[in-house]
Amino acid sequence: MIALLLRDLKLAFRAGGGFGLGLAFFLIVTVMVPFSVGPQSELLSRIAPGVLWLGALLACLLSLDRLLALDWEDGSLDLLATAPLPLESTVTIKALAHWITTGLPLVLAAPVLGVLLNLPVQGFLWLVISLLLGTPALSVIGTFGAALTVGLKRGGLLMSLLVMPLYVPTLIFGSEVARRGAEGMAVQTPLLLLAGISAASIALLPFASAAVLRVNLR
């Protein structure tokens, strides 16, 4: 399992679309927002949690089209499907590799980019907590979407259309945690719902992804 994780991490860095591209896209979104809404500090403070969460979501989505495509193209996916390691574990490791190369850097960069959007000081901690709880769900759900469209020509657009509706609850509760935290309000309810979505996704979706892959590999 560790060898497979290290392999996927190396592929993510070599093939591109992971660490650097996600961070660059996140930075571009954050920088462009003040230009579009104007230099109004109160407005930026109010919309900062939602903008940062939306930027992180889109940055995660950007690298999903290559999540399983590389293994499909070189035939590695067939070998992984017949390996002693259960396919559910393989899918989980790939989701973990995606989170390490994409989700985790976004979590670390979010407080720095929050300064550009005049995010209130009390909101930084809750922004990081919400992203730590929510981005694993984005990676796991994205892996399910990649499994659905693996092998399809130009499947990236179809995968985006399939995954985006599944991302909406995570986006709503994640940005709500960050918003309430920035405004000094109670965050317990959206925080528990966000954690529940991530826990349910991690527990259930690897089995669904593995089942879809078995059908596609027949």
Whole-angstrom distance, CA of residue 108 vs CA of residue 112: 8
Q: In angstroms, what is the C-alpha Rg of the chain? A: 18
Whole-angstrom distance, CA of residue 122 vs CA of residue 179: 10
pLDDT of residue 16: 53
φ and ψ of 147, to 5 deg: -65, -35
Q: What is the mean pLDDT of the chain?
A: 87
pTM: 0.89
Q: State yes or no: pLDDT of 117 exceeds 80.
A: yes
Least confident range from 33-42, 47-56, 150-159: namely: 150-159
Higher-pLDDT residue of 80, 35: 35
pLDDT digits (tens, 9 = 90+) for 154-201: 667 788 888 999 999 999 999 999 999 999 899 999 999 999 999 999
pLDDT digits (tens, 9 = 90+) for 126-144: 999 999 999 999 999 999 9
Give mean pLDDT, residues 34-53: 87
Q: Using an 8 Å Cβ cutoff, are 81 and 15 in contact?
A: no
pLDDT of residue 148: 87
